[in-house]
């Protein structure tokens, strides 16, 4: 058995009770199972503050990227044009998706430490009327920045375009009023802030836009519309990750007992603020400024001339019970620490003590 906690942005540390749910082999045709799927779909709508009259949830096999690829390729199709706003690797992945599917798209890049500017989006939409869809990431896990999807959503809706949001690492851990913010498709996955295990993603879809996806998909297995139609009674179109679904249902139950989205937001924010303030005391500065730093994951600079590598630091910390994450921003030397999952202030303090010990060995 491996005994360390994950300070990563997902998969993350889950409860023992969530893991125990996976000790059952469940039949996919069974009514009980179909009801679990339906229950999950309903609860996700509640977390999103939307009504089943206006929105639905489609579950999709595969990791988060499968969900993003499904939503983008099924809604933009062969006739639309997608504007991608990117300030990190996950925004850039949307370009990769569009390229592979042969979609008509345009990408607007922003520096990794800066949120996409709604004024720039408004200008592009005004000068390029071909654009039908706009996509962006909410919590850019690359850096930890929390993008302002509310302001961009206003601009997108004012121009009458479809708004697609990758809220993979924020949904459930940052409150998102999906309808109020003009979101038509929102994607997240089982192994992020709801604290399940990896195996499927989910797409919260505005029904009126989902209806328009009929016959548009460029892939069979990622056809969002067909997946939705097939799921009407809770049965999945193709084999579903049964163990993962059971674990996810349990994770939602535990999240509701804990106080739902508001309680989870509070917990992550407290963890994150504590982590940053304690790391700063040790001389580690953050890559993202305080105003835009999100509560999920933090990118830290190495102190100047520190003389150690990520691997040395990682191994030292792992031996003492925690796994951290390498940096992903391209222009600076950084590493990342996530604070979502079954992580508590005592874990942060323990990590800080490990850092103190590590730094002492380097003096
Ligand atoms: C985790 C994540 C994804 C999905 O990555 P997978 O490896 O496919 O699970 C997409 N976008 C963001 C912002 C993420 O944090």
Query: Mutate which of 6, 64, 72, 299 to test ligand 1's pocket (most atoms within 8 Å of Cβ)?
Result: 64
pLDDT given at position 1: 64
Q: Ligand 1 centroid to 231 CA: how many Å? A: 24
Locate the ligand 1 atom nearest the alpha carbon of residue 167 and give its number.
13
Ligand 1 centre and the CA of 65: distance in Å? 6
Most distant CA pair in the chain, distance: 64
Two structure tokens written together for 261: 């989205």
- Nearest residue by C-alpha to atom 3 in ligand 1: 64
CB 104 within 8 A of CB 81: yes
- Give how far Cα 117 sits from Cα of 90, 159, 175, 255, Å: 17, 15, 21, 33
Q: How many CA atoms lie within 13 A of 147 on its CB side?
A: 33
What pLDDT score was predicted for residue 10? 83
Q: Whose Cα sits closest to atom 6 in ligand 1? A: 64
Ligand 1 centroid distance, CA of 166 (Å): 8
Q: In angstroms, what CA-CA distances link 121 with 165, 181, 342?
A: 15, 16, 37
Q: Determine the distance separating the centroid of ligand 1 and the alpha carbon of 97, expressed in angstroms.
A: 13
What's the CA-to-centroid distance between 8 and ligand 1, angstroms?
A: 12
Measured from the Cα of 10, ligand 1's closest atom is: 1
Closest CA to 241 of 36, 14, 4, 1: 36
Tens digit of pLDDT at every position of the chain (363 positions): 668 999 998 899 999 999 999 999 999 888 999 999 999 999 999 999 999 999 999 999 999 999 999 999 999 999 999 999 999 999 999 999 999 999 999 999 999 999 999 999 999 999 999 999 999 999 999 999 999 999 999 999 999 999 999 999 999 999 999 999 999 999 999 999 999 999 999 999 999 999 999 999 999 999 999 999 999 999 999 999 999 999 999 999 999 999 999 999 999 999 999 999 999 999 999 999 999 999 999 999 999 888 899 999 999 999 999 999 999 887 889 999 999 999 999 999 999 999 999 999 987
User: For residue 363, what pLDDT is reported?
Assistant: 76
Which residue is listed with tokens 């360390």?
4
Dist. CA 24–CA 255, nearest whole Å = 21
pTM exceeds cut of 0.85: yes
Q: What element of type H or E holds 206?
A: strand 200-206
> Which letter, b or e, does each residue of 62-89 get, where b requires 16 or more Cβ atoms within 10 Å of its Cβ?
bbbbbbbbbbbbbbbbeebbbbbbbbbb
Torsion, CA 12, CA 18, CA 20, CA 24, rounded to 10: -110
Q: In ligand 1, which atom is closest to the CA atom of 139?
A: 13
Whether 91 lines ligand 1, by a CB cut-off of 6 Å, is no
68, 97 Cβ separation under 8 angstroms? yes
Helix or strand or coil: residue 178? coil
Q: Locate tokens 């994950």: which residue?
A: 6
Pick the atom of ligand 1 nearest to 169's CA. Answer: 15
Distance 168 CA to ligand 1 centre (A): 6
Q: Whose CA is nearest to atom 2 of ligand 1?
A: 168
Tell me if 65 CB under 6 Å of ligand 1: yes
For ligand 1, is residue 166 a contact (CB within 6 Å)?
yes
Ligand 1 and 146: CB distance under 6 A: no
**Which of 141, 143, 297, 298 is the pocket-test mutation for ligand 1 (most atoms within 8 Å of CB)?**
141
The answer to whether the CB of 294 is under 6 A from ligand 1 is no
Whether 144 lines ligand 1, by a CB cut-off of 6 Å, is no
- Cα 124 to averaged position of ligand 1 atoms, centre (Å): 27
C-alpha distances out from residue 115 to 5, 61, 89, 180, Å:
31, 30, 14, 20
Q: What is the pLDDT of residue 158?
A: 98
Task: Tell whether ligand 1 has an atom less than 6 A from the beta carbon of residue 141.
Answer: yes
**Are 351 and 322 spatial neighbours (Cβ–Cβ below 8 Å)?**
yes
Helices marked H in the chain: 16-20, 31-47, 64-76, 89-101, 118-127, 149-158, 207-211, 224-230, 242-258, 260-281, 310-319, 345-361
Structure tokens at 289: 């400024």
242-258 vs 31-47: helix crossing angle, rounded to 10:
40
C-alpha–C-alpha distance, residues 8 and 277, integer Å: 19
């Amino acid at each position: 058995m491996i005994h360390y906690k994950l300070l990563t942005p997902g998969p993350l540390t889950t409860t023992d009770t969530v893991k125990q749910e996976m000790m059952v082999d469940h039949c996919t045709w069974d009514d009980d199972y179909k009801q679990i799927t339906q229950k999950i779909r309903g609860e996700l709508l509640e977390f999103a503050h939307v009504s089943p009259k206006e929105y639905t949830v489609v579950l999709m096999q595969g990791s988060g990227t499968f969900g993003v690829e499904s939503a983008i390729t099924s809604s933009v199709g062969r006739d639309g044009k997608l504007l991608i706003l990117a300030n990190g690797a996950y925004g850039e992945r949307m370009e990769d998706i569009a390229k592979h599917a042969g979609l008509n798209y345009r990408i607007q890049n922003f520096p990794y430490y800066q949120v996409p500017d709604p004024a720039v989006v408004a200008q592009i939409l005004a000068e390029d009327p071909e654009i039908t869809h706009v996509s962006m990431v909410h919590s850019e896990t690359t850096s930890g920045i929390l993008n302002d999807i509310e302001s961009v959503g206003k601009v997108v809706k004012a121009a009458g375009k479809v708004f697609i949001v990758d809220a993979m690492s924020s949904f459930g851990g940052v409150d998102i009023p999906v309808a109020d913010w003009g979101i038509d498709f929102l994607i997240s996955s089982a192994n992020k802030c709801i604290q399940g295990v990896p195996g499927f993603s989910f797409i919260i879809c505005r029904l009126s836009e989902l209806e328009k996806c009929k016959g548009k998909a460029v892939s069979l297995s990622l056809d969002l519309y067909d997946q939705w139609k097939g799921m009407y009674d809770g049965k999945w179109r193709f084999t579903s990750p049964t163990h993962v679904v059971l674990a996810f249902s349990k994770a939602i139950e535990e999240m509701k007992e804990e106080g739902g989205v508001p309680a989870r937001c509070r917990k992550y924010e407290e963890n994150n603020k504590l982590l940053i303030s304690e790391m700063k005391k040790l001389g580690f500065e953050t890559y993202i400024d305080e105003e835009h730093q999100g509560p999920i994951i933090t990118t830290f600079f190495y102190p100047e001339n520190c003389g150690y590598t990520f691997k040395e630091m990682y191994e030292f910390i792992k031996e003492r019970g925690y796994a951290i994450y390498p940096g992903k921003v391209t222009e600076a030397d950084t590493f990342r620490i996530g604070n979502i999952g079954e992580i508590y202030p005592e874990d942060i303090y323990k990590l800080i003590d490990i850092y103190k010990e590590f730094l002492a060995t380097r003096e």
